[in-house]
Amino acid sequence: MPIVLASTAIAAYIAAALWQAHELAKASGEARAPAGMALIAALLHVSAHIVSWHVSGGIELHFFTALSLIGLGTAALTAGLALSRAIGALGVTAYPIAAVMLALYAYLPFAPRTAQALGWQIQLHAGLALLAYAALSLAALLAIALWLQERALRQRRLGAMLRAFPPLTLVETLMFRLIFAGFALLTLALMTGVVFVENLFAQHLVHKTVLSLLAWGIFGALLMGRVFHGWRGRRAVRLTLTAMVLLGMAFFGSKFVLELVLARSG
């Protein structure tokens, strides 16, 4: 892992978060400058992975690598959204998370640096899965923001909460757009898994597959409920977070046990 690239990316993420927090504190609504810094951080982040994979001779998708790549995707999506609209505290949350995930990958001594010879089929499946997790993770952050806003409205604590986040209707709209994109990507990831992954229902993949399908079903039901019944608010938040917990257990739970507890490669 090129430590200099990773360290510079981490510093840029933190700078973007602090910059965004400063803009929120003075209630200027400025979005583009912190977003530009975050995009620079994301470019450094992806460059660190590319260089690391080049040095190791191939792609490695260890537990901490996956965490780092999902943090990268979430931060890049957040910065992309911030280029066109004020996203408030979302950047203050997403950018430090990406920095922490990259730091775990870059600095922990027990993260392996061995590469695997992955065919394009598995790379496609893994790439779709990671993009889906990134989009749905950002949707989960927006769901939490939506819950906080609705709670503040019920308790009539409006000032600080309204300054910290975009308008409630925009948060809800962005959340559902990301859920739709993440659901589409997750569908493709599951389809490529069925087609390309050998022994998909092997012992160490059964729970991962079942939990992923459960999460996929909940997201699908939420989108159908939104279209046909206008589901929103607390119901949408609960279903989104429930599905994300299942998805996190499917991927990170299995990788954590197999790679860190049992010292096996998943």
In tens, the pLDDT along 104-160 reads 998 886 555 555 556 767 788 888 999 999 999 999 999 998 998 888 888 776 666
In tens, the pLDDT along 204-222 reads 667 788 889 999 999 999 9
- Nearest Cα neighbor of 142 from 29, 237, 223, 36 is 237
Q: How far apart are CA 20 and CA 31, in angstroms?
A: 7
- Nearest Cα neighbor of 152 from 136, 171, 177, 132 is 171
Name the residue ranges covered by the structural domains of the chain.
1-117, 120-266
Record the pTM: 0.87
Contact present, 237 and 151 (Cβ < 8 Å): no
In tens, the pLDDT along 236-245 reads 999 999 999 9
**Torsion angle of the four alpha carbons 36, 39, 44, 45, in this order, in degrees rounded to the nearest 10:** 150
pLDDT band at 31 (very low <50, low <70, confident <90, very high): low
Contact present, 82 and 91 (Cβ < 8 Å): yes
Q: Residue 4 burial (CB < 10 Å; 0-12/13-18/19+)?
A: exposed
